[in-house]
Chain A
Amino acid sequence: MDINLIITSFPKLIIASFTTIKLLSVSLLIGLFIGVLFALLRINNNIILGKIAYGYSYVFRGTPLLVQIFIIYYGFGQVELIRESIFWSVLKEPYWCAVIAFALNTGAYTSEILRSAFQTIKPGLIEAGKSLGVNSKIIFYKIQIPIAIRQSLPAYGNEIILMLKGTSLASTVTLMDLTGVAKYIISTTFKPIEVFIIAGSIYLFFTFIIHNIIKVLEKKYSF
């Protein structure tokens, strides 16, 4: 055990963890938006839109996140059309490539979570609303959405934690997030255990916080 290394690398890893948090929150925000959009496409009655949404979630859930990042980061830069378009100013940054990949990935999982939450709402509740003469827009906003939020909270909490772990892949496209800096310290000092303990504890600390926030929200929305 090299206590000195632990003390000197701790501040570096803390600073790096801000990158991780930034990546996580931005991609979760965009991912939630994508997830809601595709979940709505899945539950509406249009078969073609439903198929497209299913295809999207199937492809993104069936392939590793690493492949998705590499396609966006290394693959898209090769296409002339993209390089000359306005998207290039975004796609040439590894940070945005990682965010896009994470957002699309978590969007696929989120759409699946929200879809199953909407589908487990008992039809009786919607029928009760209808028979009370509530119009369908209010049924959707005041009955379906609050129940769906409650139903999907535990699964969405897991998804946030999976995404926190997923952000470690940003280090493969040259971003210096928590894992990236940890790997750099490991490969320069060859002391993996010490670095693993600190970086691992920081990740566990984040997991712990997320877990507790979700728990509080679950209690707040429970009925």
Chain B
Amino acid sequence: MELLAFGNTGWGDELFIATLMTVAVSITAMVIGFIFALIFTPLKLSKYKFLNYIANFYTTIIRGVPELLVIYLFFFGGSGAIMYVASIFGYNEYIEINAFLTGAFSIGIISGAYSTEVFRGALQSIDKGQFEASNVLGFNKIIRFYKIILPQMLRLSIPNLSNVWQITLKDTSLISVTGLVEIMRQSYIAAGSTRDPLFFYTFAAILYLLLTFLSMKFINRMEVKYNRGF
């Protein structure tokens, strides 16, 4: 137990901060994923075949290739790509991107592919009558989307999004390979310096279980809230 003490004698405070880091990366990745999903869902449902191909390409590749490989691509390739773009604009210094951003971005792209599929499913299950009714009432496309379709789509996608959230939360453990100090990395450091890997990795597992448990509680409450009246 003294291994978990706060302060300089134990790893309690470090692991606490690492847990916050895991939550922060997961939320950032989820938000980035949402942005990707909101871009690619309309492409997926568009009537133009070419746009469909682009969206299908994205979701198929990301869902068929291991997460670790995607993370390696961004970890090793990210700063190179940015330096290349910068060199076009005449900036030739070395640019290092921060581990948090690389991690959140690579996990975000992955969770975006899953969210796209979730949103597509939800959009397709919205009753056709809703679209027709809003046309009859004379709403324009933008208001129709934001005021009528989006709220229903979000309600329908909550159960599946909670799965995506669980996947995202667990995927953040892979960012530890890039050196970002989240739960897994901190446990690795602690296990290395105390030579007690069993204790620290088990503790990491408990922390992840706690996070998934708490987020399930929260999501269930949200589901009840948004299903009022249905």
Contact = CB atoms under 8 A, between A and B. Distances in A.
B64 A192 contact: no
B198 A76 contact: yes
Interface string A71-92: 1001111110000000000000
Interface of B: 60-61, 63-69, 72-73, 76-77, 80, 166, 170-171, 173-174, 176-177, 184, 187-188, 191, 195-199, 201-202, 204-205, 208-209, 212-213
A75 B202 contact: yes
Nearest to B196: A78
B202 A168 contact: no
Given A76-B198, A161-B64, A172-B177, A179 B69 contact: yes
B201 A59 contact: no
Nearest to A201: B65
A67 B72 contact: no
Contacts of A161: 63-64
B173 A196 contact: no
A161 B60 CA distance: 12
A52 interface: no
Contacts of A76: 198
A19 interface: no
Contacts of A169: 68, 174
A146 interface: no
B69 A203 contact: yes
Contact of B173 (A59, A62, A66, A167): A66
Contacts of B68: 168-169, 171-172, 179
B66 A66 contact: no
A196 B60 contact: no
B36 to A, nearest CB: 18
Nearest to A168: B66
A192 B76 contact: yes
B166 to A, nearest CB: 8
A10 B216 CA distance: 43
Query: Could you say which of A58, A63, A199, A203 has the most chain B C-beta atoms within 10 Å of its C-beta?
Result: A63
B184 A71 contact: no
Contact of A187 (B60, B76, B187, B201): B76
Given A68-B205, A192-B72, 11 more contacts: A58-B209, A63-B209, A64-B171, A71-B201, A74-B198, A78-B195, A161-B63, A199-B65, A200-B64, A204-B61, A204-B64
Contact of A74 (B73, B197, B208): B197
B69 A63 contact: no
Nearest to B77: A192
A202 to B, nearest CB: 10
Query: Could you say which of B63, B188, B199 has the most chain A C-beta atoms within 10 Å of its C-beta?
Result: B63
A220 to B, nearest CB: 24
A75 B67 contact: no
Query: Could you say which of B77, B199, B201 has the most chain A C-beta atoms within 10 Å of its C-beta?
Result: B201
